[in-house]
Chain A
């Protein structure tokens, strides 16, 4: 009442209780949606946990740390798959990050517009190729090339390192890492490009006005400003690499072994599920596969969590706190 007395000439009627109801309805619905996402995740994890229970009971803590995978004898351990997933993903990142970042820097900072546009478009196009096509290309082009050319050369050049020893099969960890690298490049370079383009020109000019060369301006002004965004781009790429199934399955060799050499075949968590799920010989075999699924879930969450921590720690004194 007092408010309508304070503004007697107002043409706007006082707000009725009706808007409040609408507001609460809106809040309730959105809350419901948000909760349902959480519920779906919990239900999924619960269902997986229930199916995996026999394997969890039988192997306990040994499961992620044992290397035997023998469906006939019903002895299961997930270590080679965890190893394969992590190594292939890290290998992919170590190839893709320099290429993507270098490419993004070239396209944003150095290339003329008429060249940058079509190249960026082509790189983005890589993301829309189905992964089975990458797999086919891996089998018929990449693997033979690795076997006949790259691996012998690497072996001759760097054969003293255990990473590059052993027979050249073509298919194997190296092939998987390279395929994954090509697949994550559009994501890392795309996001990096956006992040670099968001760096205000005043930052570049600040460095140039101090007598920086173009490269020095990139190093002192542009890259530090975009650091946390670039790390975010790399995490995105890592997430894709960890979960990628089809293309990796086609080129990694699918042998549950831990070998130091990148030439040797390996296996990933996603691949073993895809390969064996349809023809699982027993409920117990199925339980072991589901438990691997749970582990993949866990590894992804763990890696993402660590990466996020990294972003927070650098964002503390990085561009995320800029007041514009």
Chain B
């Protein structure tokens, strides 16, 4: 079954500080949804609410609902939610004590895959999907952190998709990467889209325009506009969206 998310009147705060306010949006199955907006507007907080990582921060609270195929995720086991909704972080964070192989296998092992040939199979498949297999096939036992930044990020993508999530959240996955690595990851997103639903946070508007089907513009914790990507970029309804995408934003 294809998996989508529905966000209903989502609010989030850190202690007394309200960071998100009344966000409602529908994240369609097998589509790429981009979230754009200026720094500090709450993009990371928004996608961290989608896999219940927000609630692990001390003092963090949230209101409203997030529905995964109609089911309220706050009623589900958080471990199950995060197995279904994977995440790639802004800064590559491979496990430094683990080899390339073990990094990809980490999530599988957590999910109870123990047999060596099954692990081998999944690790290769994930690394291929992560467009990293050719570069690392002959040194899978080397530490994950011996890779370049771009390779590390693709390793983290492979690690996230190895457990076959239905949704993949990506928080500025290219912000630390050069144009070549960025291009690879963008191609990868097009490839992954066939198998899963993707939400990507990005600072780069060209990137949002290139990879996404829907785009949401977030400003000061509010979702100003949410529409099909071509429409939002060529014909925004809100003045603030227009200012932001044309670079006139204060």
Contact = CB atoms under 8 A, between A and B. Distances in A.
B98 interface: yes
B180 interface: no
Report whether over half of chain B's contact residues are helix, strand or loop; otherwise say mixed: mixed
Contacts of B98: 224
Interface string B87-106: 10101011111110000001
Interface string B24-59: 000000000000000000000000000101001010
B123 interface: no
Interface in A172-215: 200, 202-203, 205-213
A195 B41 CA distance: 33
20 contacts: A200-B93, A202-B89, A202-B91, A202-B93, A205-B56, A205-B89, A205-B93, A206-B156, A207-B110, A208-B56, A209-B53, A210-B86, A210-B107, A211-B80, A211-B83, A213-B79, A220-B106, A220-B110, A319-B96, A322-B96
Contacts of B51: 209
Contacts of B163: 210-211
B143 A206 contact: no
Interface residues on B, range: 20 to 34
B110 A318 contact: no
Nearest to B52: A208
Interface string B48-83: 000101001010000000000000000000011011
The 9 closest A-B pairs by CB, nearest first: A211-B83, A210-B107, A224-B97, A209-B87, A202-B93, A322-B96, A206-B93, A211-B82, A212-B110
Contacts of B97: 224-225, 227, 317-319
A220 B79 contact: no
A210 B89 contact: no
B160 interface: yes
A205 B96 contact: no
Contacts of B131: none
Q: Please indicate which of the listed interface residues A205, A210, A212, A221 has the most CB atoms of chain B within 10 Å of its own CB.
A: A210
B96 A225 contact: yes
Interface residues on A, range: 20 to 34
A19 interface: no
Q: Please indicate which of the listed interface residues A203, A208, A319 has the most CB atoms of chain B within 10 Å of its own CB.
A: A208
Interface of B: 51, 53, 56, 58, 79-80, 82-83, 86-87, 89, 91, 93-99, 106-107, 109-111, 143, 145, 156, 159-160, 163
A206 to B, nearest CB: 5
Q: Please indicate which of the listed interface residues A213, A216, A220, A321 has the most CB atoms of chain B within 10 Å of its own CB.
A: A220
B110 A209 contact: no
A123 B58 CA distance: 24
Nearest to B85: A209
A160 B80 CA distance: 47
A228 B200 CA distance: 36
Contacts of A212: 79, 110
A290 to B, nearest CB: 45
A323 B145 contact: yes
